[in-house]
Each structure stands twice: as structure tokens, then as C-alpha cells.
């Protein structure tokens, strides 16, 4: 999406709005306009003009108007946030882009609980056990925030905040049906007992993902999930309260058959080739996902100027995948494993030799010359190559060897935190605390057992007002990671207030990201079971990948200049920032079984500007604009794929009266893995009052792709640019 095209979209939507904005001070129906506050920037409650950085808040009205079924789609409303899809059930959300297939550099919280997976350091966006209908708002800190939330908040923090149970009493049922297999169900019941108020929510979600891959065949990337969430608040006297939450989720994500054959069939003159041609495994490597968590948060207002909080939670995630595979018995050959351990590229050449038995690779003179002169293989290893080729040649008159593989992974986290917030004087306030976390990842395939980690944190943020115009901020996090060592992340910021709701800011931050367990401590190899077919000369699969164990933390330095302002009389809020960010020691290599070579050799630099404006034009019209320009350099080409230079959104929300609401939202980016993305979304809803305390809302949601490209990847294709789904929601 080019900048002129973005401006054209803005003008197109703007032409539908009233030509002259009405002063909100003159609108008696709107009432007093209250300034919002945010909680996720420094752990202190602040107005947007006081935040030491850039903040985006997606409120309940905007979330509902978007018609989004999933949280990643909401992130398109955040300037500089890039959303890519590996498949229909695997989304990646990156601030300013970088790697297309991994999102490892943002902290994601649900009510303060991290859903950033400890083993693989990713977020399963489609598996978060929280219904979008239960979200009150999403606060996004756009920039490094390790000073407040520790390593992994390298490029930002997304805090998803649930609606308080006292605001969602009664019964609510919502059904959504639509094209592409969409079949969603949501139900909640609010209730009270004693001094507690609670809400029980049930959620079911299902769709078929993308329609087909590039060759026109069906794409197996659908999903199905069911989740339960129980949220409650209990008052303990006049100064203390406990919020508690528990949840569970189960589901399955479709995945294509996930095994690459070493010896692909080439003709039908041998039993092996005929069997492999006719093989229909009738199995797949679909992933079964199960999540469980329990969370407690105790607050004690010791005085009007002093609050003590204790937060603790436990969570467990399971991703289970098992399937049958068939191949030449040579994949269990000790000679092939020896060749792989010498260098994985040598084993990859064996694949060429076995797949091209009638071509040039069948000539020993050719492949010997290639492997020695081009791959650098020592000549003394050539007998291994000849031996492996002979083993397979002898096996071609036999059936293939079949076996069961799995990629099961179980991740567990326990975390406890104490936080102290004190208003020391009228001009000085602080928040400080300590956090202790234990992570565990168990997988026979990925870790050859279990990997554990313990992380301790000391954090503090200080805010000092100097007269009417200056606000100074200092924050830091000291963190001791058992696997990665010690780190210190400071942040300094200064605000100059042009007026109480208008400030200029300058921010300097340093941040880190610790290598995850998989990058640094993997020992990935298959442990096959249930062998059938041809016998093997060994029971150990040839390929393995071992983490280096000595990866250093990624380090980021960030400079930001910005403006935040709120014009009360116009209902207009604006945030603008210019930034310069650089990350070194980056780990950018693909984490795969073959050619697993992570290191700290990559570097990325981002320079640019972002803007967002939210304008409540009248009591019926709201216009919201975002735009990001990012100029970047990345030493690794994989980090160049999800960073468009121009991206943004335009949203118009309208209440027409008679309980009719509409929204039109344009999203655009000029490069998502070298593919243009432009989409126009619409929502039209009508609410019918059924009684004093009950109502029915019917809504039509519509998406239209303005481009004709695959979404992120070539194979992510839909049959039709148009996409419709309907929802019916009953409250009583």
C-alpha cells in the first residue's frame, strides 16, 4: 500500500462523514467526556499524555465494530503492527515486522498473565482461552518495555484486559455462522454470591482456514476449539479484594502430513517405489491443543496513597501431534547418521542421490566431485556415501519401513509477583516489586526429555513532576535468568506539557530478549516406534538438531520523540512518534530439524514515524486513522519479509439511530512477505429490544480483499474475495 493510496482511502471514507464537526461541549446527549487511563505502560495508572512511549488502546466499542473473530485481526488497528499467517490456524503478530514465521519479541498478557510460551517463545493466537466477547480493552505499548515487564517485551507489550464480572451480569448467548466453515458459539452467565461477583463463559470456535493452495488442492488448515473461562472478584473488607480466574481449552488444528521422505519414489519397477506410490497413510499430523490455567490477584489499599498487590498463576499447555510415516530403511542407517553428524549438508545431498537415481546424481563420479569440491566434504567420507546408496539399492526390492513419529510438547509455568505502588509526595510516585517465575518444557522429540528455567526479576518505575510543565520518568528491570544470565534494562523519559492534555516526549530505552529453550537448549530428533515393513540396521533416526547452549541475549536500543494530545472540545485524540530502533545479537535462523544453526549474527535497524488519531466527530460518528512508515535494514533476509514501508487503517463507526450501528474499516500494507495486502471490512448491526432487560442483536459482517494476492504466502488463498458471516446475540 503506497502512501497516496492510503490518503485516497482516507478521503473516500471521510467524504461520507459530516462536513463540519460538532463541538462535543455543545452536545447534551454525550455528557462529560472522560480522559482514558492506561495501566500497561509502567504499571502505574496514567493518562496517555504521561506514558513514556507510544500507546494504542482498542476499546470495547472498536473491538465490537471491527467484527473480528480473533485477536490478531484486531492488531491491524495498531500502527506499525504487522499480522501474517503461516496457515489459517497459525497467525504471527510482529511489531515492525521482522521474521515472517516466528513472533518472538513481544510480551502478550491476558489480565497480566503471560501467554508467551516458555518452550518455543511464541504465542498461539488462535488458542488463547478468552472469548473476544469478554474483552473490555486491549492496551498495546508500541516499543521496548523490558523495563516494566522483563525480557521478551523487546519490541512491545500487548495486554488483553477482560470485562469485569460486575459489568456483565445476566445471560448472554451469541451464535455466528458464515462462509469458510465458520461456526462459533459463545455463552456467558453472570452471577453473585456473598461478597463475590463472577462470570462463567463458554466458547466454541470453528472454521476451515484458507480454501486451497497454489495448485488448487484443498488446504488442511482448519481449526476447532472449545474453551471455558471463570472470572470473579471478591471483596475482603473495605480495602482488600481478590480477583480470581481459571480456564481450560481443548481443540485441534489441522496440519498437512509432516514428514519429508528421504528416498522419494521415481518409477514403479521396484517394490519399494510401487509401495511408496500407492501409500495412503490416511493419517495426518494434526495438533491437539489443551490449555489450563488458574490465576489469583490480591490487592490491598493500605492508604489512599499506598497499594500492595500480589499476583500468582499457574498454567499448562499441551501441543500433541503424532502420525505414521514410511521411508527407506536407510534413514535409520548408522552410516547416514554419521554423515549427518559430520555436516547436515552431506545428508541433504544423499536426498538428491536417492531421488535422482536415473539422473546425474546417480553417477558416483558426479556426486563425489560435487560433495568434495562444492560442499567441502572430506574425501575419506565418500565410502559412507557409496555405502548408503548401496543400502537403499538393496532395499528397493523390499517394502518401505513404516513407523510412528510425534512432535508432542508440554509446557508449564508458575509465576508469583509482589508489586508496591506508593504516592510519596504530590509530585513523586513509584511502583516497584519482585517477580519469580519457573518454566518447564517437556518433549522427547524437541528436548530429549525436559528443560527447566528459573527467572527472578527486580523492577521499579519512578515518576517525578517538576512544576506544571515537566514530567520525568525513570524505570529499570534487573533480571537473572538461569539459562541466559543477568541483564539490566533501563528507560529514561521526559515530557514537556504544552497543556494538561498535550505533551511532547523524548524516550530512551534499552531492552533484551533471552533465547528461548528451543533456540538454545534443543536436542531435536525423532524417536520412532511401532516399526513395520523392512527391517532396519538401527533404531535411531539419522537427523538431529542440537541447540548451541551459549546463545547471548538479543539487545535493543531505542530512541523516540513524540507528541500526545487530546482536544476535549473536538473529541480528538492524537499520538505521533518518530523512532530509531536497532537490535543486535539477533537470532534469525530458521529453527528446523535440518540445518539447525541458530547464532547471534543478525542485526536490524528501524527508522520511521507512526501516527494515530481518534476523532469522536459527533455523538453518532467516530473516525479513527492509523499510519506507519518504516524504513529498515536487516542483515538477514528472513527479517526483511514482514516489514512494509507503508501500512495503516481507516475506520468509520456510525450510529444511525433506531439501534442501528455500522462500521467500515480499511486495512492496507504494501509488503507482507513481498505481497500487497488491502482489505475493506464492514459491519451492520440492528438491536431489537425484547423487554425491559432483554435484547437481540443481529449483525452482518463482510470482508472484501482489494488485492488478488495470497495472504502472506502464495498458498494462503481463498476462492472468493468476498467473505460474509452473520451473528445473532441475545442478552437477558
Per-residue pLDDT tens digits for 591-601? 777 778 889 99
Distance CA 726, CA 718 (A): 19
Report yes or no: 93 and 105 within 8 Å, Cβ to Cβ.
no
Which residues make Cβ contacts (< 8 Å) with residue 161, sequence separation at least 6? 39, 111, 135, 136, 137, 138, 139
Q: What is the per-residue pLDDT for 361?
A: 80
Strand order across the beta sheet in which 322-327 lies: 322-327, 401-406, 529-533
Question: Which residues sit opposite 419 in a β-bridge?
Answer: 309, 433
Place of cell 507510544: 54
Beta strands in 357-500 (DSSP E): 401-406, 409-423, 428-443, 449-466, 470-481, 485-499
Per-residue pLDDT for 281 more than 80? no
Distances (CA, A) of 132 to 91, 127, 182, 277, 471: 16, 12, 15, 46, 36
Distances (CA, A) of 424 to 150, 309, 496: 25, 17, 22
Per-residue pLDDT for 529 more than 80? yes
Distances (CA, A) of 489 to 22, 83, 153, 276: 46, 27, 11, 55
Burial 14-50 (b: 16+ CB within 10 A, else e): eeebeeebbebeeeeeeeeeeeeebebbbbbebbbbb
Question: pLDDT tens digits, residue range 299-334?
Answer: 999 999 999 999 999 999 999 999 999 999 999 999
Q: What average pLDDT does range 471-490 have in this prediction?
A: 96
Closest CA to 493 of 37, 38, 41: 41
Q: What is the per-residue pLDDT for 107?
A: 93
- The count of other CB atoms within 10 Å of the CB of residue 293 is 20
Report yes or no: 507 and 493 within 8 Å, Cβ to Cβ.
yes
pLDDT band for position 1 (50/70/90)?
low
Q: Which DSSP helix (H) or strand (E) runs through 227?
A: strand 223-236
Distance CA 392, CA 76 (A): 51
Which residues make Cβ contacts (< 8 Å) with residue 461, sequence separation at least 6? 42, 43, 44, 147, 148, 430, 431, 432, 473, 474, 475
- Enter the C-alpha cell of residue 400: 518401505
Closest CA to 264 of 253, 275, 256: 275
Distances (CA, A) of 290 to 128, 183, 253: 10, 20, 11
Q: Give phi and psi for 23, each to the nearest 5.
A: -65, 130
Q: What average pLDDT does range 403-419 have in this prediction?
A: 95
Q: What is the per-residue pLDDT for 364?
A: 86
Report yes or no: 396 and 338 within 8 Å, Cβ to Cβ.
no
Distance CA 523, CA 546 (A): 4
- Enter the C-alpha cell of residue 376: 567441502
Per-residue pLDDT for 682 more than 80? yes
Closest CA to 681 of 1, 16, 65, 63: 65
Regarding predicted confidence, which is higher, 673 or 543? 543
How would you classify residue 571: left for phi > 0, otherwise alpha for psi between -120 and 50, otherwise beta?
left
Distance CA 70, CA 499 (A): 38
Q: Give phi and psi for 730, each to the nearest 5.
A: -115, 125
Q: What average pLDDT does range 694-720 have in this prediction?
A: 92
Q: What average pLDDT does range 452-474 have in this prediction?
A: 96
Distances (CA, A) of 517 to 30, 107, 237, 422, 707: 52, 16, 44, 36, 39
- Enter the C-alpha cell of residue 426: 504530590
Q: What is the per-residue pLDDT for 35?
A: 60
Place of cell 487511563: 37
Closest CA to 311 of 38, 39, 37, 36: 39
Place of cell 535422482: 356
**Range with the poorest average pLDDT among 28-37, 494-503, 653-662:** 28-37
Distance CA 182, CA 165 (A): 28
Q: Give phi and psi for 284, each to the nearest 5.
A: -145, 175
Secondary structure class of 77 (helix, strand, coil): helix
Per-residue pLDDT for 169 more than 60? yes
Q: What is the per-residue pLDDT for 301?
A: 95
Closest CA to 384 of 402, 366, 364: 364
Distances (CA, A) of 726 to 16, 60, 180, 523, 732: 25, 19, 12, 47, 20
Q: Give phi and psi for 293, each to the nearest 5.
A: -155, 155
Distance CA 389, CA 395 (A): 10
Report yes or no: 646 and 6 within 8 Å, Cβ to Cβ.
yes
Report yes or no: 574 and 564 within 8 Å, Cβ to Cβ.
yes
Q: What is the per-residue pLDDT for 3?
A: 52
- Enter the C-alpha cell of residue 147: 523495563
How would you classify residue 180: left for phi > 0, otherwise alpha for psi between -120 and 50, otherwise beta?
left
Counted residue by residue, the chain has a size of 732
Q: Is the dihedral angle over the CA atoms 139, 142, 147, 152 positive or is it negative? A: positive
Per-residue pLDDT for 700 more than 70? yes
Q: What is the per-residue pLDDT for 19?
A: 38
Which residues make Cβ contacts (< 8 Å) with residue 439, sequence separation at least 6? 118, 119, 411, 412, 413, 452, 453, 454, 455, 517
- Enter the C-alpha cell of residue 692: 425491559
Of the chain, the percentage scoring pLDDT greater than 70 comes to: 95
Distance CA 35, CA 47 (A): 7
Q: Looking at the structure, give the CATH architecture of the domain made up of residues 3-323+407-533+553-731.
A: Beta Barrel (2.40)
Q: Strands 170-178 and 409-423, how do they pair?
A: unpaired
Question: pLDDT tens digits, residue range 6-64?
Answer: 444 444 444 444 433 333 333 333 334 456 788 889 999 999 999 999 999 999 999 99
Q: What is the per-residue pLDDT for 55?
A: 95
- The count of other CB atoms within 10 Å of the CB of residue 303 is 9
Which part of the chain is CATH 2.40.170.20?
A: 3-323+407-533+553-731
Q: What average pLDDT does range 653-660 have in this prediction?
A: 96
Mean pLDDT value across the chain = 90
**Range with the poorest average pLDDT among 17-26, 448-457, 661-670:** 17-26
Per-residue pLDDT for 590 more than 50? yes
Amino acid at each position: 500500500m503506497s502512501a497516496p493510496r492510503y490518503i485516497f482511502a482516507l478521503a473516500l471514507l471521510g467524504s461520507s462523514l459530516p462536513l463540519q464537526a460538532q463541538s462535543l461541549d455543545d452536545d447534551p446527549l454525550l455528557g462529560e467526556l472522560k480522559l482514558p487511563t492506561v495501566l500497561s505502560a509502567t504499571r502505574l495508572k496514567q493518562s496517555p499524555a504521561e506514558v513514556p512511549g507510544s500507546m494504542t488502546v482498542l476499546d470495547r466499542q472498536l473491538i465490537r465494530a471491527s467484527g473480528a473473530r480473533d485477536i490478531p485481526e484486531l492488531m491491524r488497528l495498531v500502527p506499525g503492527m504487522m499480522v501474517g499467517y503461516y496457515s489459517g490456524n497459525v497467525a504471527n503478530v510482529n511489531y515492525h515486522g521482522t521474521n515472517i514465521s516466528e513472533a518472538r519479541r513481544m510480551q502478550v498478557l491476558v489480565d497480566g498473565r503471560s501467554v508467551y510460551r516458555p518452550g518455543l517463545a511464541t504465542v498461539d493466537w488462535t488458542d488463547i482461552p478468552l472469548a473476544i466477547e469478554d474483552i473490555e480493552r486491549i492496551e498495546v505499548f508500541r516499543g521496548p518495555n523490558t523495563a516494566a515487564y522483563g525480557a521478551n517485551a523487546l519490541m512491545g507489550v500487548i495486554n488483553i484486559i477482560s470485562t469485569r464480572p460486575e459489568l456483565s451480569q445476566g445471560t448472554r448467548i451469541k451464535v455466528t455462522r458464515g462462509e469458510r466453515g465458520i461456526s462459533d458459539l459463545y455463552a456467558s452467565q453472570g452471577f453473585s454470591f456473598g461478597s463475590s461477583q463472577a462470570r462463567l463463559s463458554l466458547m466454541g470456535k470453528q472454521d476451515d482456514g484458507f480454501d486451497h493452495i497454489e495448485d488448487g488442492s484443498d488446504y488442511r488448515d482448519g481449526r476447532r476449539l472449545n474453551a471455558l473461562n471463570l472470572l470473579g472478584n471478591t471483596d475482603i473488607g473495605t480495602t482488600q479484594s481478590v480477583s480470581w480466574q481459571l480456564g481450560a481449552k481443548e481443540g485441534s488444528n489441522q496440519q498437512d502430513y509432516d514428514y519429508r521422505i528421504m528416498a522419494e519414489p521415481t518409477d514403479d519397477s521396484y517394490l519399494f517405489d510401487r509401495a511408496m506410490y500407492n501409500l495412503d497413510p490416511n493419517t495426518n499430523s494434526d495438533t491437539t491443543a489443551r490449555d489450563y490455567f488458574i490465576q489469583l490477584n490480591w490487592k490491598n489499599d493500605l492508604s489512599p496513597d499506598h497499594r500492595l498487590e500480589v499476583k500468582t498463576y499457574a498454567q499448562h499447555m499441551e501441543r500433541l501431534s503424532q502420525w505414521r510415516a514410511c521411508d527407506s530403511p536407510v534413514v535409520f542407517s548408522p552410516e547416514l547418521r554419521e554423515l549427518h553428524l559430520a555436516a547436515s549438508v552431506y545428508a541433504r545431498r544423499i536426498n538428491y542421490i536417492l531421488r535422482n537415481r536415473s539422473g546425474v546424481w546417480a553417477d558416483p563420479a558426479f556426486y563425489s566431485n560435487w560433495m568434495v569440491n562444492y560442499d567441502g566434504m572430506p574425501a575419506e567420507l565418500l565410502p559412507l556415501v557409496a555405502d548408503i546408496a548401496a543400502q537403499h539399492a538393496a532395499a528397493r526390492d523390499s517394502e518401505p519401513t513404516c513407523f510412528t513419529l510425534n512432535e508432542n510438547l508440554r509446557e508449564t509455568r508458575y509465576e508469583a509477583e509482589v508489586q508496591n505502588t506508593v504516592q510519596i509526595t504530590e509530585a513523586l510516585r513509584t511502583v516497584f516489586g519482585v517477580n519469580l517465575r519457573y518454566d518447564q518444557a517437556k518433549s522427547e522429540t524437541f528436548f530429549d526429555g525436559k528443560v527447566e528455567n528459573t527467572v527472578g526479576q527486580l523492577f521499579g518505575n519512578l515518576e517525578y513532576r517538576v512544576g506544571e510543565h515537566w514530567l520525568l520518568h525513570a524505570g529499570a528491570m534487573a533480571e537473572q535468568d538461569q539459562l541466559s544470565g543477568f541483564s539490566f534494562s533501563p528507560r529514561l523519559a521526559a515530557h514537556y506539557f504544552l497543556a494538561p492534555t498535550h505533551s511532547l516526549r523524548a524516550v530512551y530505552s534499552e531492552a533484551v530478549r533471552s533465547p528461548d529453550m528451543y533456540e538454545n537448549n534443543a536436542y531435536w530428533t525423532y524417536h520412532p516406534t511401532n516399526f513395520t515393513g523392512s527391517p532396519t540396521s538401527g533404531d535411531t533416526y539419522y537427523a538431529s538438531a542440537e541447540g548451541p547452549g551459549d546463545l547471548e541475549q538479543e539487545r535493543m536500543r531505542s530512541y523516540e520523540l513524540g507528541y500526545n494530545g487530546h482536544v476535549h472540545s473536538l473529541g480528538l485524540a492524537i499520538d505521533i512518534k518518530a523512532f530509531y530502533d536497532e537490535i543486535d545479537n539477533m537470532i534469525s535462523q530458521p529453527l528446523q530439524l535440518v540445518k539447525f544453526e541458530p547464532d547471534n549474527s543478525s542485526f536490524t535497524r528501524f527508522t520511521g514515524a507512526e501516527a494515530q488519531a481518534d476523532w469522536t466527530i459527533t455523538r453518532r460518528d467516530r473516525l479513527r486513522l492509523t499510519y506507519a512508515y518504516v524504513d529498515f535494514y536487516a542483515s538477514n533476509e528472513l527479517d526483511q519479509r514482514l516489514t512494509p514501508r507503508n501500512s495503516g487503517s481507516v475506520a468509520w463507526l456510525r450510529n444511525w439511530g433506531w439501534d442501528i450501528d455500522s462500521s467500515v474499516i480499511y486495512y492496507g500494507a504494501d509488503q507482507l512477505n513481498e505481497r500487497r495486502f488491502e482489505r475493506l471490512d464492514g459491519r451492520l448491526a440492528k438491536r431489537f429490544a425484547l423487554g425491559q432487560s432483554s435484547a437481540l442483536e443481529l449483525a452482518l459482517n463482510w470482508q472484501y480483499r482489494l488485492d488478488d494476492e495470497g495472504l502472506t504466502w502464495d498458498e494462503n488463498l481463498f476462492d472468493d474475495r468476498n467473505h460474509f458471516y452473520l451473528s445473532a446475540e441475545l442478552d437477558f
